[in-house]
Structure 1
């Protein structure tokens, strides 16, 4: 190992109690919604094993693992409220440890931060009857017997984790029941559990006493706490330091995991799990303040995605272990790439927010730019060399074409990529416009870098036609040609301009502008951000009941905050019925979709966002000449197996179209298509 690697603060070992950690990088507890019947079965296990293979020191599973029936798992979390989970714990911990990483489990009672209308339909519970805006349930005020029971439930949950082979546990306080008792924003009790800090800490120490009575003094027990609620009337930084001191003095806790904020509404959640448009590393100084005040190892779970910040936090003594959780969702081999001096090959998390927002929408977490994460059961992060090399022609240099080229070249196939424009990127080149989503550039840069350094042959500024493709004698032709925006289907639709024209710089808009969004997703948010930054007086119309309805809570709240600050006006439940010329301006007849009422408003420009229609001319030129008539066995393709039905046996090439060349979807769908195709060829 050279001096640069051996001195890297990220790669230094650390001793936590009796536990040897091989470096300073951890994946902190989170809920990817991979649980099945509340248990961490194969999908959950393989997801964490991959990070262990990738070299990190410690992975914490079970974000918000619930220990009691009145703390239901509304986001697909684990449930450790009975012994049926122990065999699954044993299989997972053995798998992670076999790759050299330590593994812990987070346990919690969510208090009011859950829903009553799922699971066993029991009332949620809290220190008092104050409702949380994000989760919306009216909590029952906890009685003394409830608190005694909950301390016992925590102890039993900890015992199950110990029996399941974990190296330790983390008890979640921040924003959950224990943290709700601590916070003046939530706790207005006047008994022994409210008022003074000593009283508000009472339940925490009762839980710690119960847990230690079950697992003994040698088992590693940590706690995730807030270092500052950053809210008027909430826990202050000084109070949080005092809480940390008292926890350290109790000698019941072996480490503290620090973050900040009060995620009691969508914007608070965005500060806690920051997407693009929110400052990163906000909580490091908060963690550093606590580290200087207590003699306990300090972890950090506050959204560090880049290596420079992670190294800085360790070098400056702000933390002892650095959480890089979403960074490992984007690239589970992050640590290994550092250790072999391939930092430039790391696929960096840019804060797309797709993972956390999907969970908050009741879906499973997938990475916006890494389609393999969470699908390790049938896709691989590291492709083997193909047993049979193929000549593959890819048409289209957008994200789907780039990913297809990258993967196929890495597997050893002979790949030719055609792109009609003079640069690669497709719609990704538009997605990074404006201010909030500018980091999308990094997604494009990584794909282009990987393809440029691959052995694939690139043809830029080249309109490929059927004869050009057939001249290469391909075994497989992949059309990733994407799509084009379709003109609105209303009288006067020809008087509009597309969001693509605006973002691409083909049309400059100013004055009074109507943005007509029929999609409710990021493209309209980026277009509005970009136009408002260019001094347009912007009205945002959508037929949906609220703007940007497809976005999850973190990305939607950040995008809307940005647009409100730029004085964008929103008119939901609105369709454009007609557009007419009014001198040099456009008179627009608008329709309320609920009442049917219409009104007329005049704008300088009307910009539309409708998604895109497939660019499929080349596909239909080739489909009759292909061996499979452009078809895949979709049932097998869904499982990552590629099989082409035979349609024209006299032809030599198979034909597939992927991504937006099939139908308008999103970045992740395009990358997933590419992975299923190329990896399925290996099966």
Structure 2
């Protein structure tokens, strides 16, 4: 019997949870037609199979038609959800994993132009900044209706085989009532007393209990400290927690600290890379101590050591490792097998959540199988025949290709021109706040080392060196170099430097700096941070109507916080069309896509961020010697089948290129390229 605190069972009412690790409620935005169909089931079943004790699904399932699915939520207000829930719970129960679901009414945290186009409702007359919909101030008949909707939804979840539910009480309708910041009501549900503010969520709880009985597990995931002036204080949050415990109707408390009504507030609740780990753990422990209730919590608990401390120190009964399980669904299995060093690390990039909040589906920045369990493997099967695979480039694409090929049992050799692996990731990690990104590289290097992959660093591979290896497969993952050609002008950006030059320290920022951003991704903001930290005047310019759209909500917050007190301005809808040097100044010609207007402005330094151009000379030099001449059968690639294209019977090897060696994209795309190609080699 293991003595590891994380592997001890926990008794939750009648339910025995086999260990202390859970994934907390989150909506990966995988539903189809509002239902948790096969993709949703496969995602949770993978984690259940690998040993997680409790998977909390949905974040959150909507109980009412006027809580439209702004995050592609599960529609718990439809009867047809029940068999789909049953499929999900059966799949997880088969692996002795408990399954619960989070229910909610979004209140003002949604949009009226979704779903059935019903007005949003709230106890507040003010719109939520993040979702911008002005709500209708809720009426008595709305309250009665929604209480019934919660009870109906809970009954459906019980019918679907769920072990329990939790109610979402932070940032959504239930919390909007109990927060003094979002309650504009008078009367029995009004803001004048704490008792009145708590009345609605407690009425909902009572209605659910009446419907599902005493044995069904019910909990609250709730904010016990809004961390904002005028909101719920820690002291009041403890009193709320004691009140919840005293009802005798709740089985667990899942503690949140903060608000989620703006991007900065949400980023404090769900911290990203560069922010402290487990920032709210001590507060969750204080709630547990004050109430004696089973206490759950999750907020940037990315590694096993932090999770183990949370349980061993008595602060939590169940520890949530949700983003960590998106990076590696097999955490528990690896702990049990003594292979913690093999756990793929969560690097805090929060690509997963940022995609959801931009109406996408959740994907892990460096595990391309997450969310693709129906088509991509988390564990690589050995190939029927070992082959010689040569890879050029040790960035994220090349290292993923090397890792997967080695796990397939192939003989793998990697050439890298630089003295160290990492490619653009190593550049990204120059920012102290983003240094965790190097975990993407370090983990793959460790996996390759364990499988005897041969690396040749400081080696600029040429055709003859590659052919001398007598490869069966060659994969070009050489990445790209900064693009310094202005859009559709055909002119190189004379007198200008790249964002990479500033980030790497190869060029020092000087004077008045223009950072011209055509890509809208991280390098422009990273360069701006470097220049602003040097005390310089910085202008970030884009031809788009918004700046940095590829950085997305939660990752944008740390950049903005670092730049707000600096001399930095953002200029949108302006296009750089040319630059000339006049003495010590650079004169920029600036236009716009919206009219014929042009103007000139002077700067001391102009920095361009316009993606990369493929470093592809070796690929084209190798094409004549390959059997497929570089061609990819897209149908086979998408279907998960091996590449069999034959265009040159006299060729000696298959040739492919991946990542930015094809075109400028992002880290996830590069890793996905490698996984779905190499898993079938």
TM-score normalised over the length of structure 1? 0.96
**What secondary structure sits across from 1:493 in the alignment?**
coil
Correspondence for 1:679: 679
Correspondence for 2:214: 217
**What secondary structure sits across from 2:188 in the alignment?**
coil
Please report how far the alpha carbon of residue 315 of structure 1 lies from its aligned counterpart in structure 2 after TM superposition: 2.6
State the distance in 1 between where 2:388 and 2:34 align.
45
Correspondence for 2:313: 316
Contact 1:510–1:537 at 8 Å: present in 2 too? no
Contact 2:298–2:321 at 8 Å: present in 1 too? yes
Please report how far the alpha carbon of residue 596 of structure 1 lies from its aligned counterpart in structure 2 after TM superposition: 4.3
Matched, 1:230 2:227: yes
Q: Match for 1:88 among 84, 87, 96?
A: 84
**What secondary structure sits across from 1:208 in the alignment?**
helix
**What secondary structure sits across from 1:437 in the alignment?**
helix
Once the two structures are superposed, residues 625-673 of structure 1 have per-residue CA deviations (whole angstroms, 9 ceiling, x without a partner) of: 2111211111221233232321112223111111111110000000000
Correspondence for 1:44: 40
State the distance in 1 between where 2:619 and 2:412 align.
18
Correspondence for 2:138: 142
Q: Match for 2:150 among 151, 154, 161?
A: 154
Instruction: Please say which of residues 291-300 and 553-562 is displaced more in the overlay.
Output: 553-562
State the distance in 1 between where 2:523 and 2:445 align.
21
Alignment of 1:146-545 (within 5 A): 146-194=142-190, 195-489=192-486, 493-545=493-545
Contact 2:124–2:176 at 8 Å: present in 1 too? no
Contact 1:435–1:529 at 8 Å: present in 2 too? no
Unaligned runs of 5+ in 2: none
Matched, 1:549 2:546: no
**What secondary structure sits across from 2:126 in the alignment?**
coil
State the distance in 2 between where 1:601 and 1:277 align.
36
Once the two structures are superposed, residues 147-201 of structure 1 have per-residue CA deviations (whole angstroms, 9 ceiling, x without a partner) of: 1111111111111111111111111111111101001111011111012111111
**What secondary structure sits across from 1:264 in the alignment?**
coil
Displaced runs of 4 or more, over 4 A: none
Please report how far the alpha carbon of residue 58 of structure 1 lies from its aligned counterpart in structure 2 after TM superposition: 0.7
Contact 2:429–2:435 at 8 Å: present in 1 too? yes
Contact 2:624–2:651 at 8 Å: present in 1 too? no
Shift in alpha-carbon separation, 1:526–1:22, aligned structure 2, 3 A: same
Correspondence for 2:16: 20
Instruction: Please say which of residues 211-220 and 631-640 is displaced more in the overlay.
Output: 631-640
State the distance in 1 between where 2:512 and 2:555 align.
26
Instruction: Please say which of residues 492-501 and 345-354 is displaced more in the overlay.
Output: 492-501
Shift in alpha-carbon separation, 1:67–1:486, aligned structure 2, 3 A: same
**What secondary structure sits across from 1:500 in the alignment?**
helix
Q: Match for 1:121 among 107, 117, 133?
A: 117
Q: Match for 2:103 among 103, 107, 114?
A: 107
Unaligned runs of 5+ in 1: none
Please report how far the alpha carbon of residue 603 of structure 1 lies from its aligned counterpart in structure 2 after TM superposition: 2.6
Contact 2:623–2:629 at 8 Å: present in 1 too? yes
State the distance in 2 between where 1:187 and 1:596 align.
49
State the distance in 2 between where 1:436 and 1:396 align.
26
Please report how far the alpha carbon of residue 583 of structure 1 lies from its aligned counterpart in structure 2 after TM superposition: 2.6
State the distance in 2 between where 1:326 and 1:379 align.
19
**What secondary structure sits across from 2:642 in the alignment?**
coil
Contact 1:540–1:569 at 8 Å: present in 2 too? yes
Please report how far the alpha carbon of residue 546 of structure 1 lies from its aligned counterpart in structure 2 after TM superposition: 2.6
Shift in alpha-carbon separation, 1:383–1:605, aligned structure 2, 3 A: same
Alignment of 1:642-653 (within 5 A): 642-653=642-653
State the distance in 1 between where 2:613 and 2:577 align.
21
Contact 1:437–1:526 at 8 Å: present in 2 too? no
Contact 1:436–1:529 at 8 Å: present in 2 too? no
Please report how far the alpha carbon of residue 617 of structure 1 lies from its aligned counterpart in structure 2 after TM superposition: 0.8
Contact 2:484–2:492 at 8 Å: present in 1 too? no
Contact 1:28–1:324 at 8 Å: present in 2 too? yes
TM-score normalised over the length of structure 2? 0.96
Correspondence for 2:657: 657
Please report how far the alpha carbon of residue 32 of structure 1 lies from its aligned counterpart in structure 2 after TM superposition: 0.2
State the distance in 2 between where 1:566 and 1:442 align.
30
**What secondary structure sits across from 2:385 in the alignment?**
coil
State the distance in 1 between where 2:391 and 2:3 align.
43
State the distance in 2 between where 1:27 and 1:567 align.
42
Contact 2:362–2:371 at 8 Å: present in 1 too? yes
**What secondary structure sits across from 1:224 in the alignment?**
strand
Once the two structures are superposed, residues 312-334 of structure 1 have per-residue CA deviations (whole angstroms, 9 ceiling, x without a partner) of: 22233222111110010011111
Contact 1:45–1:95 at 8 Å: present in 2 too? yes
Correspondence for 1:34: 30
Instruction: Please say which of residues 89-98 and 28-37 is displaced more in the overlay.
Output: 89-98
Please report how far the alpha carbon of residue 291 of structure 1 lies from its aligned counterpart in structure 2 after TM superposition: 1.0
**What secondary structure sits across from 2:187 in the alignment?**
coil
**What secondary structure sits across from 1:210 in the alignment?**
helix
Matched, 1:589 2:589: yes
Please report how far the alpha carbon of residue 577 of structure 1 lies from its aligned counterpart in structure 2 after TM superposition: 2.8
Contact 1:425–1:448 at 8 Å: present in 2 too? no
Please report how far the alpha carbon of residue 492 of structure 1 lies from its aligned counterpart in structure 2 after TM superposition: 7.3
Correspondence for 2:606: 606
| Root mean square deviation, CA, Å | 1.6
State the distance in 1 between where 2:394 and 2:638 align.
24
State the distance in 1 between where 2:282 and 2:454 align.
48
State the distance in 2 between where 1:534 and 1:13 align.
53
State the distance in 2 between where 1:208 and 1:506 align.
60
**What secondary structure sits across from 1:618 in the alignment?**
helix
Count of residues in correspondence between the two structures? 677
State the distance in 2 between where 1:260 and 1:600 align.
49
State the distance in 2 between where 1:349 and 1:533 align.
28
Contact 1:436–1:526 at 8 Å: present in 2 too? no
